[in-house]
Chain A
């Protein structure tokens, strides 16, 4: 399709400089695809007008699913007709974002056939994002995607596409199999992922260790982060090599930076007071050859993080201090379902589970889902004396 490229003098400025340019990407697509060409034109127009030109989505999707497609229309359909309908398709990524060249080419072929040729690898939630499909192309795209083994991800008030770090596939610190668990969870909750039935979105993110490379604690309603309970493993031979190598100042970089002060170092041997270690990962991060997480590994489950809209930003907080992750995942499936039952019945429209807990109280929430309160769940006990005592009949 040798069509004249839209003039983009402002965007052209963003092809300069060492960082890879998204404008170059748009031009690569625009050279072959009229939708991408008009999309580039409308972005240039935004750079000139200093406002966006996209409207709210309408209800578009594929048959039988309530999520996976975000409707998007432009407010300048006459001037940029080829991108007046420019919907987003969220495609559920394989756990850990590993691909072969073969499967990537198949995805590209589907998208060349049906859409703009523009993508995000990946969106913030983790999905493969196909950017820019017309309404009539949605069902055929979906059909071709399932043909090559892919399905849609979540959108709207449903389970959003679970995502995870690369875990045990390529990291010695992974305290559980994040990719295996993520795949299990995604398959187990296909219905909840494709058919929105919650008060609002519900995200899962799986991180293999307390470094949390997928920002699980900040970006998921349920954060499942790997940790361990026993002693940090020390390889004395490798520790000696660090001493000899001289690249790490063990006293200053490791011992003095330990937040609990639980390491003793006499220039030769390392003594860790593991009963005082709170598993922060710092010493292991600095000396990955000599130190490793313990052997009694599992995960901590935290709940409730979200961005500001509506009641303010939240980080997840501890719900289950420690759970073994190598004995099946039934307990976690049941925990998620218990939370959804309660929040589904009593949560308000567009109220995330973290806000719901703040409204009804963590104590009440635990009681309703059948978990006992534990001191690991809080920074400190309450400071205010306004306690909602509940007396049973005998006490009265």
Chain B
């Protein structure tokens, strides 16, 4: 351990945001009048004072080197007096006050490999997690799947392909869901499919047996003596692969090269526009982990996007479209197989069973 420095400061909190705001924002804070999207990737905000601010939005891979952050700093100096911000979906936004600098900035960003887009009725950056890059409980990699999906859906980012409404995709590498996966138009979620393999010789030294037992939401874990070790056993048919026991006890390992993979969920949203916020619902229970490009997952997402784009009405989000046409029609149009795994069997599952005769029979 390095020596503790003589002067040590704590609890100073984050720097106050005001010192980082460009003058046009300081002047017009709370006094913006309206905005427009003059071209894909550029937002123009107009203040009551008549002042204008252009935000040029470029994609980032979220996992970034300091070399790239320094590049963004240089671009900010060159094109916008050193002012930039990041978005809730990991895009970078350059804050331009000189309209003449917009196109040269876009050209530079393109040249450096950071294309602009992702505004309005489009697909923007995928909110995602660490995956195999840095997480202990990941059932898949995150960055690799996201890169592969966005390469394929790129025309929906740069505006060359149109969509009825915005389409938000999110990725989480396990059921902990570090990201709004459960309320996204399309969600890709890493899943385990095998009960934990228990390291009996380590368990009692690494974990508390009572807390490991009580970590299981289905009561599948009970204390047991195995090969002379104080340990636990798992009633496998009760295991729903949530990995909560693994979070509590590292000796309950879940990672499995063959049986881990991805599931696809659709129709969630967080905004209140038109329809209230909705959860994402299961579309595809399992697709294999197939690095480096995950072709099965990429094809599945692309299919859902294309069927939605071809059938939804203007301004209709994925979940609103499915609600209008009904789930039977969603499975028919997308060609996705409906299985017993689509029927909920956790708490309050009965609330998802149909009670009406409101079918849209076709053929």
Contact = CB atoms under 8 A, between A and B. Distances in A.
A146 interface: yes
B196 interface: no
A150 interface: yes
A29 B65 contact: yes
A25 B63 contact: yes
A88 B134 contact: yes
A107 B247 CA distance: 32
Instruction: Give the residue among B15, B64, B181, B346 with the most A Cβ atoms within 10 A.
Output: B64
B105 to A, nearest CB: 14
Interface string B74-98: 1011000011111110101000000
A179 B128 CA distance: 24
Contacts of B211: 349
Contacts of B144: 11, 14, 22, 47
Given A104-B72, A310-B217, A285 B273 contact: yes
A118 B20 contact: no
B187 to A, nearest CB: 11
Contact of B176 (A29, A257, A307): A307
Contact of B291 (A50, A104, A140): A50
A222 interface: no
A217 B63 CA distance: 26
**Interface size bucket, A side?**
35 or more
B10 interface: yes
Interface string B162-190: 00000000001001111111110000000
A121 B60 contact: yes
B136 A19 contact: no
A47 B85 contact: no
B25 interface: yes
Nearest to A117: B66
B113 A20 contact: yes
A124 B178 contact: yes
Contact of A172 (B33, B76, B141): B33
A53 B157 CA distance: 33
A374 interface: no
Contacts of A124: 127, 129, 178-179
B64 A121 contact: yes
A235 B59 CA distance: 35
Given A215-B88, A281-B271, A253 B314 contact: yes
Contacts of A43: 132-133, 141
Nearest to B12: A151
B17 A98 contact: yes
A179 B17 contact: yes
B13 A96 contact: no
B16 interface: yes
A25 B5 contact: no
Contacts of A174: 30
Interface string B57-69: 0011111111111
Contacts of B131: 52
Contact of A311 (B13, B14, B136, B347): B347
Nearest to B248: A350
Contact of B260 (A50, A86, A123, A172): A50
A143 interface: yes
B274 A280 contact: yes
Q: Report the interface size class on chain B.
A: 35 or more
A134 to B, nearest CB: 10
Contacts, number: 361
B327 interface: no
B9 interface: yes
Interface string A305-343: 001111111010000000000000000000000000000
Interface string A213-246: 1111111000000000000000000100000000
Contacts of B21: 98, 169
B interface secondary structure, majority: loop
A39 B63 CA distance: 13
B34 interface: yes
B136 A55 contact: yes
A174 B33 CA distance: 11
A240 to B, nearest CB: 15
B229 to A, nearest CB: 19
Contacts of B275: 259
A100 interface: yes
B217 A215 contact: no
B73 A104 contact: yes
Contact of B61 (A20, A194, A219): A20
A271 interface: no
Contact of B1 (A23, A49, A136, A190): A136
A350 to B, nearest CB: 8
Contacts of A140: 2, 5
A196 interface: no
Nearest to B278: A315
Contacts of A215: 88, 180, 183, 270
B150 interface: yes
Interface in B1-56: 1-2, 4-5, 8-17, 19-21, 25, 29-30, 32-36, 45, 53, 55
Interface string A154-183: 000000000101101111101001010001
B16 A183 contact: yes
Contact of A103 (B20, B133, B272): B20
B15 A150 contact: yes
B305 to A, nearest CB: 15
A26 B131 CA distance: 15
- Identify the interface centre among B63, B67, B183, B277: most chain A CB within 10 Å of its CB: B63
Interface stretch (B230-238, B249-257, B333-341, B354-362): B249-257
12 contacts: A14-B143, A19-B154, A28-B65, A47-B144, A151-B11, A168-B32, A171-B32, A186-B14, A211-B271, A289-B33, A309-B175, A310-B244
Given A32-B67, A121-B60, A172-B45, 4 more contacts: A101-B73, A118-B63, A121-B86, A310-B244
Interface of A: 10-11, 13-14, 16-26, 28-29, 32, 36, 39, 43, 46-47, 49-57, 63-65, 72, 86, 88, 92-105, 107-108, 111-112, 117-125, 131-132, 135-137, 139-140, 143, 146-147, 149-151, 163, 165-166, 168-172, 174, 177, 179, 183, 186-187, 190-191, 194, 210-219, 238, 252-253, 257, 259, 279-282, 285-286, 288-289, 292, 307-313, 315, 349-350
A-B CB proximity, top 10 nearest: A17-B151, A307-B177, A101-B73, A210-B272, A46-B132, A50-B257, A168-B30, A19-B150, A101-B82, A108-B66
